[in-house]
Copies of this chain bind each other. A is one copy, B any other.
Amino acid sequence: MRIKAINPNTTLEMTENIGHQVRRYTSDDVEVEAVSPERGPISIESYYDDFLAVPGVLEEIIDDEAEFDAFINSCWGDPGIDACREVTEKPVVGIAEASMYVANMLGAQFSVATILPRARDFIEDRVRTTGLWGQCASVRCTDLTVVETEETRDAATEALYDAAKRAVEEDGAEAICLGCAGMGGLDEPLEERLPVPVIDSVAAAGVITEGMVRLGKATSKVMTYKQPEPKEQTGYPQKFHFDADAGDD
């Protein structure tokens, strides 16, 4: 089984961490390749970054569609996840949705502990589109940039501890989703100090994706996630132009 974990930003240190976390929690027979797109932001902290990142993410799926059994979209916001599902029949799993499903099975209400306050709307949007708004006790932001979550592990842990503690004590959270792919592995030090399960969203996506492949189901091509219509895409490489052979209904 081969899984391609796509880090939608271009910070390679984070990409490496993502690959490490997916490998660590999946079975031995799962081969994991972690990549960053060739184009896009070094981190995603706004709607702007999100939209600039998506074409690169799509390219990573288009390039290797035949060679992998599933794809992981490794940014908490699952940027362009619906578009990703259009360009492949293989399952695509977002780390946001995967972590929320796991949280929803472990506690009655979960909170998301995440980066800068400006990302709150972006994060909450993903909770809503996934469907789990009613199960979300709160989104608690820190002052961390994405890169800081990756580079200053102790400070990041401290800031997330504070956010998660308030989520548990003030908002009634019974599980915590770590709301950024750069937080991979921080679940362990946090869980030592918090009375609730803390979910590394990348790890969650890893095991869910392995399960999706074992299940053997393909992305639905009946309607919303059909292959993109064949058309000119000015300014994008030829591979972004889909053929007409996919068969409309």
A: interface residue count bin: 35 or more
The residue of chain B having its C-beta at the shortest distance from the C-beta of A117 within the complex is: B223
Interface of A is mostly: mixed
* Separation of A52 and B232 alpha carbons in the complex (Å): 11
* A197 & B220 in contact (Cβ 8 Å cutoff): yes
* B212 & A105 in contact (Cβ 8 Å cutoff): yes
* A107 & B47 in contact (Cβ 8 Å cutoff): no
The residue of chain B having its C-beta at the shortest distance from the C-beta of A41 within the complex is: B233
* Separation of A92 and B48 alpha carbons in the complex (Å): 14
Q: With A105-B92, A211-B210, A218-B197 in contact, do A46 and B234 touch (Cβ < 8 Å)?
A: no
* A229 & B40 in contact (Cβ 8 Å cutoff): no
A209 smallest CB distance to B (angstroms): 9
- Counting from the closest, the 8 A-B pairs by CB-CB distance are A39-B235, A207-B211, A107-B220, A108-B224, A47-B82, A48-B228, A47-B83, A174-B220
